[in-house]
């Protein structure tokens, strides 16, 4: 899925832990092969290539993820939408040409975005209307982590921290002699914002300029507002904890798009969900239960930031030294 999956597992049986590790990585590999936009023969590549034609047969997992994604779009006021493929392609071309899209080009791409352009049959066959395209990158990591938890429990894992690219996290139980897994959250302007403590919850961290392109001397992030068609350009970071990785990912993106008023209110209405929105100028907004859910400890002053393993955008969240079991 274009990033690194890290697992910290604890249990009484070493053989069971090894099986849990191997089965978790196998789940990630299998789902990536189904939903990647970059792997030849994936369900998503085949669906997008067949847009406007006959329905395409996809795996049950792909159909289930797509159904869930379309349902989420209706619940978050359109701020998260996996049909943004035409807009992703438009802005990718704009970055390559260093030229903003014209109003007509933007209008054509926006007209192809929306759940109404996708039909999923009871037989798990999917038909996209001509010009439409699916991009599941904003939900697939959390979805994959959700699929791993039952497998880990079945193999005797008693506590675990699963981190997909340090932006999609699942915390199962707690490490020894600690109330939860302590994670260091990065600030949007660089450095660190604070420490969160997680136990039996999922976390998603989304940054508006975590990845960005420069077009006509302006920076645009990789997060798109499906409603306007424009990428976000304000440097912000959204952290959301939720009962599932799938939901956490959807809400962290929606929070970035909707902003401090609508976005925070949206998350606050969802049972078991809490959020923190950080602005590059130091302002912070949170849901009423954020502090209770995460024991958030703000960090004041400069803290050295580890170099990004890919040399580009900094990862959003990292385990504190000593927080993982041996």
What was the pLDDT predicted at 315?
39
33: in domain:
no
Q: What is the pLDDT of residues 182-235, one digit of tens each?
A: 999 988 888 889 999 999 999 999 988 767 788 888 888 888 999 999 998 889
61: in domain:
no
Q: Cα–Cα distance between 88 and 108 in angstroms, integer?
A: 13
Q: What is the mean pLDDT of the chain?
A: 90
What was the pLDDT predicted at 303?
52
25: in domain:
no
What was the pLDDT predicted at 301?
53
Strand, helix or coil for residue 91 = helix
Using the predicted structure, report yes or no on whether residue 102 has a pLDDT greater than 50: yes
267: in domain:
yes
Q: What number is the average pLDDT over the span 156-177?
A: 94
Q: What is the pLDDT of residues 12-25, one digit of tens each?
A: 999 999 999 999 99
Q: What is the pLDDT of residues 266-290, one digit of tens each?
A: 999 999 999 999 999 989 999 999 9
Q: Cα–Cα distance between 48 and 227 in angstroms, integer?
A: 21
Q: How many CA atoms lie within 13 A of 164 on its CB side?
A: 30
Q: Cα–Cα distance between 246 and 138 in angstroms, integer?
A: 9
Q: What is the pLDDT of residues 23-72, one digit of tens each?
A: 999 999 999 999 999 999 999 999 999 999 999 999 999 999 999 999 99
| Lowest mean pLDDT, pick from 154-168, 270-284, 291-305 | 291-305
Choose among 257, 246, 241, 250: nearest CA to 289. 241
Give me the number of domains the chain comprises: 1
Q: 267: domain CATH number?
A: 3.10.520.10
18: in domain:
no
* Terminal-residue alpha carbon distance, the chain: 27
Residues spanned by the domain of 184: 158-319
Buried b (16+ CB within 10 A) or exposed e, 2-13: eeebebbbbbee
pTM of the model: 0.89
Question: In this structure, what token pair is assigned to residue 170?
Answer: 């699942």
Using the predicted structure, report yes or no on whether residue 305 has a pLDDT greater than 90: no
Using the predicted structure, report yes or no on whether residue 326 has a pLDDT greater than 60: no
């Amino acid at each position: 899925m274009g990033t690194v999956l890290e697992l910290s597992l604890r249990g009484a049986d070493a053989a069971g832990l090894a099986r849990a590790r191997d089965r978790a990585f196998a789940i990630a590999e299998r789902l990536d092969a189904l939903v990647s936009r970059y792997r030849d023969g994936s369900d998503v590549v085949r669906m997008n290539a067949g847009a406007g034609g006959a329905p395409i047969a996809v795996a049950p997992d792909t159909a289930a993820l797509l159904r869930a994604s379309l349902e989420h779009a209706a619940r978050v006021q359109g701020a998260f939408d996996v049909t943004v493929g035409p807009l992703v392609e438009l802005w990718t071309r704009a970055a390559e040409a260093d030229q903003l899209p014209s109003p007509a080009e933007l209008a054509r791409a926006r007209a192809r975005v929306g759940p109404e352009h996708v039909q999923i049959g009871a037989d798990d066959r999917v038909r996209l209307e001509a010009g439409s395209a699916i991009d599941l990158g904003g939900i697939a990591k959390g979805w994959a982590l959700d699929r791993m938890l039952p497998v880990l429990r079945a193999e005797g894992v008693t506590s675990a921290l699963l981190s997909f690219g340090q932006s999609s996290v699942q915390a199962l139980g707690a490490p020894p002699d600690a109330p939860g897994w302590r994670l260091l959250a990065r600030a949007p302007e660089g450095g660190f914002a604070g420490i969160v403590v997680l136990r039996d919850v999922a976390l998603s961290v989304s940054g508006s300029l975590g990845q960005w392109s420069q077009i006509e001397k302006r920076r645009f992030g990789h997060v798109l507002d499906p409603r306007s068609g424009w990428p976000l350009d304000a440097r912000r970071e959204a952290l959301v904890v939720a009962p599932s990785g799938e939901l956490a990912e959807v809400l962290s993106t929606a929070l970035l798009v909707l902003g401090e008023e609508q976005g925070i209110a949206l998350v606050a209405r969802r049972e078991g969900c809490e959020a923190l929105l950080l602005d590059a100028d130091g302002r912070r907004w949170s849901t009423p239960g954020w502090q209770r859910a995460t024991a958030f400890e703000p960090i004041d002053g400069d803290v050295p930031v580890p170099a990004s393993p890919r040399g580009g955008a900094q990862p959003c969240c990292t385990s504190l030294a000593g927080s993982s079991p041996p």
